[in-house]
Amino acid sequence: MADNHRPDGIVLTEAQKKSRRQRSIAIALALGVLVLLFFAVTIVKGPAVLVRPL
């Protein structure tokens, strides 16, 4: 029944879409930095981690 009232569900305004996109990009960048950080420290602290028996 409720669907009859809101056939399109929640429709975001342009401002909401813009801010959500901004936040998504910021989260992606933060995760990217975290991955790079772990990679860089792995190289710095222990390159031997890459040389291991299969």
- Residue ranges in contact with another protein by CB under 8 A: 1-2, 4-5, 10, 12-13, 15-16, 19-20, 22-23, 26, 34, 37-38, 40-41, 44-45
CB 39 to another protein: min, Å: 10
Residue 15 CA to residue 49 CA, distance in Å, equals: 47
Residue 51 CA to residue 34 CA, distance in Å, equals: 23
CB 1 to another protein: min, Å: 5
Of 12 and 32, the one with the shorter C-beta distance to another protein is 12
